[in-house]
Amino acid sequence: MLSQEKLQLLLEQTQEIAKSVGAFIRKERQHFDVQKVEHKGFNDLVSYVDKEAERRIVEQLSELFPEAGFITEEGTNSTRAEVYNWVIDPLDGTTNFIHGLPIFSVSIALMERDEVILGVVYEINLHECFYAVKGGGAFCNETPIHVSKAPNLAASLIATGFPYYNFEQIDKYLAALKSLMQSTHGLRRFGSAAVDLAYVAMGRIEGFFEYNLNSYDVAAGSLIVQEAGGKVTDFSGGSDYIFGRQIVATNSIIHQEFLEELNRIWSA
């Protein structure tokens, strides 16, 4: 088990890695050539920037903590270890990046077996670094952050992510959007799940939900939300949100009401 001192040192070093890779991504965006975009699948885009960013992150984290394995989006290193694994999304919001929309981030988490113990989300355009270690609270640029105190859905702003290649649940999803449009302050779609989660932690939005996500989309942000006083579950209220491909994150106060409304539609 890592000592608190070792974990804190890893957190500081991980922030620096996220910021340095974020600077590389920011620089590449200035002269990015859309012709260099590749398709991993339908509407699933990747660029040399994603791949190079991940290579840099993996290389530096390997030096910091050699005994840890990796779960990565682009497959730079997919060798998992028994106890500790880094979970990395080098550029969360690739489609935004490609189109020049200024919300995309670097997301890095460290898991101890099945528990996230460290999380860093660096929003590149606003230079906002959100971070947390298990039991240590949540921060943005060295300032403690906390979820909002909105008392119910009616007083809440909700974020989500639209499905872009798996449309099996599209009718349920659209029904959920219709309901939430009429029962909340509104819906937002930022295009980076890691940023969505960071914004729940910051109190900018009260809730976030999405399905068909991967572990590297949500691992870091889910810890930051919880350390900021929020609650994170899967759609059923369980704990299978890292690998279960569905997540609900809220300020905790509205969580049960949100789940009930979501499942009223999702289970119909």
Residue ranges of the annotated binding site are 73, 89, 91-92, 217
Three-state SS sequence of 211-240? ECCCHHHHHHHHHHHHHCCCEEECCCCCCC
Name the nearest CA neighbour of 242 among 79, 32, 136, 85: 85
Query: Reduced to 3 DSSP states, what percent helix, strand and coil does the chain have, rounded to the nearest 5?
Result: 40, 25, 35
Name the nearest CA neighbour of 114 among 9, 233, 7, 243: 243
Which residue numbers belong to the known binding site for Mg(2+)? Answer: 73, 89, 91-92, 217
Q: Which helix (H) or strand (E) holds 31?
A: none
Query: In this structure, what token pair is assigned to residue 86?
Result: 């880094």
H-assigned helices in the chain = 4-29, 48-64, 94-99, 170-183, 193-202, 215-227, 255-266
Residue 33 class from Cβ within 10 Å (0-12 exposed, 13-18 middle, 19+ buried)? exposed
Residues 6+ apart with CB under 8 A from 9: none
Q: What is the DSSP letter of 156?
A: -
